[in-house]
């Protein structure tokens, strides 16, 4: 079983499942392999604004939400998505510290726990959990403040969480207005997306692509040589290609079935002019997720004409800065992210 990040003691009662428990004590979570902690994706509310949203007990959308004080409707929601290579949630308290910073600004901040490869959860579970989290927060806001304008919802993902955030940006779907579940009536589209040192292309991360497909299933399949054009950025041998300009390596062989899944989860292949405003933040020193992932994604966003797309590259910044690494955020990077959120993505307090 994967290691779960610890929830701070003062937030222990602020965590609730994305899907409600049933009367017999089992879970209604789709694709669940059991009812243990690692089988149940959750949201943790951080701060008063988040608690005001989490208070309504939607049925059958959200259950076991904590009680919260009354107060004004928040105009902004931030959903934090931890990293950890889809093998663990590797952020200890740093993710919650960031959420507290946003909560202090009046933002309704939440930290998500999604299901992991290491607990035998593969495609489409992580995307399903992320879409449900966005829909849940929209439904909570609508239920708590039915007469207030819908808040602007931003997602911020780190490493593998940045990968998931990018996929949520390009694979967003409208809700089903006829659903009996009020959560499923909401859209899964975020209003703004921040991807910090994200892995973008699973075609260029063969181990993660196999994990998304299922390692054991992938091991039984023969590898094939992938055509370079499948990567969507041209041939690395062509100096004029995005691949050459961004330092993208050649594609490695992988099973054809794995490649099909990797194509779907490589966000740079799916961006359009309708993709939400998206900010990439990456350090050149990153030895875990090479810088080409963010460079390649930004080139794709520019080519698609995605409004609000931006890329903040820092000459120094190892993988995990500001979170599990002892290295802080690069100087000025937090302020630059917040400036982009407010002034480019228009994720700002409504007064």
The span from the CA of 184 to the CA of 199, in Å, is 28
What confidence score (pLDDT) does residue 89 get?
80
Share of the chain above pLDDT 90, in %: 72
Which among 164, 156, 123 is positioned nearest to 267, based on CA atoms? Answer: 164
The helix (H) or strand (E) run that includes residue 294 is helix 292-304
Burial class (CB in 10 A: 0-12, 13-18, 19+), 197: buried
Do residues 235 and 328 touch, judged by C-beta distance below 8 A?
no
Give the CA count within 13 Å in the CB-facing half-sphere of 43.
36
Higher pLDDT, 68 or 143: 143
120-138 per-position pLDDT tens digit: 999 999 999 999 999 999 9
pLDDT at 163 over 90: yes
Which among 87, 82, 113 is positioned nearest to 98, based on CA atoms? Answer: 82
290-307 per-position pLDDT tens digit: 999 999 999 999 999 999
Q: Which domains does the chain have, with CATH numbers?
A: 25-200+266-343 (3.40.50.1820), 204-262 (no CATH)
Instruction: Write the DSSP symbol of residue 27.
Output: B
Q: What are phi and psi of 164, to 5 degrees?
A: -60, -40
The edge-to-edge listing of strands for the beta sheet with 76-81 is 15-17, 42-46, 108-113, 76-81, 152-158, 192-196, 278-283, 310-314
What confidence score (pLDDT) does residue 2 get?
57
* Whole-Å CA distances, 153 to 141, 194, 205: 10, 11, 29
The span from the CA of 210 to the CA of 255, in Å, is 9
Query: Which pLDDT band, with edges at 50, 70 and 90, does 5 fall under?
Result: low
Token pair belonging to 45: 């509310």
Higher pLDDT, 27 or 229: 229
Q: How many CB atoms lie within 10 A of CB 291?
A: 18
What confidence score (pLDDT) does residue 63 get?
43
Q: How many CB atoms lie within 10 A of CB 9?
A: 7
The span from the CA of 114 to the CA of 129, in Å, is 6
What confidence score (pLDDT) does residue 59 get?
34
What confidence score (pLDDT) does residue 64 get?
44
């Amino acid at each position: 079983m994967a290691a779960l990040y610890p929830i701070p003691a003062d937030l222990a009662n602020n965590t609730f499942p994305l899907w409600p428990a049933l009367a017999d004590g089992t879970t209604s979570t789709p694709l669940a392999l059991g009812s243990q902690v690692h089988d149940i994706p959750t949201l943790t509310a951080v701060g008063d604004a988040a608690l005001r949203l989490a208070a309504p007990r939607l049925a059958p959308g959200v259950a076991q939400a904590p009680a919260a004080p009354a107060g004004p409707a928040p105009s902004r929601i931030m959903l934090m998505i931890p990293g950890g290579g889809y093998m663990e949630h590797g952020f200890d308290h740093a993710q919650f510290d960031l959420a507290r910073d946003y909560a202090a600004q009046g933002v309704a901040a939440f930290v998500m726990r999604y299901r992991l490869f290491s607990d035998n959860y593969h495609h489409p579970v992580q995307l399903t959990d992320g879409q449900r989290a966005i829909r849940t927060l929209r439904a909570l806001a609508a239920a708590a403040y039915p007469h207030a304008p819908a808040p602007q919802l931003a997602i911020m993902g780190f490493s593998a969480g940045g990968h998931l955030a990018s996929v949520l940006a390009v694979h967003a779907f409208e809700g089903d207005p006829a659903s009996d579940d009020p959560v499923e009536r909401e859209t899964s589209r975020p209003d703004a997306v921040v991807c910090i040192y994200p892995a973008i292309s699973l075609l260029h991360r063969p181990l993660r692509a196999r994990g998304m497909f299922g390692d054991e299933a992938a091991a039984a399949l023969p590898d094939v040589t992938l055509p370079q054009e499948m990567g969507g950025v041209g041939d690395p041998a062509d100096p004029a290609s995005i691949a050459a300009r961004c330092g993208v390596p050649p594609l490695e062989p992988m099973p054809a079935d794995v490649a099909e899944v990797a194509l779907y989860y490589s966000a740079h292949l799916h961006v359009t002019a309708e993709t939400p405003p998206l900010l990439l933040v990456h350090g050149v020193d990153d030895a875990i997720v090479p810088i080409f992932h963010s460079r390649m994604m930004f080139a794709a966003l520019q080519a698609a004409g995605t409004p609000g797309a931006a890329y903040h590259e820092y000459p120094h910044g190892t993988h995990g800065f500001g979170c599990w690494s002892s290295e802080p955020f690069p100087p000025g990077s937090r302020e630059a992210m917040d400036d982009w959120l407010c002034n480019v993505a228009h994720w700002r307090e409504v007064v």
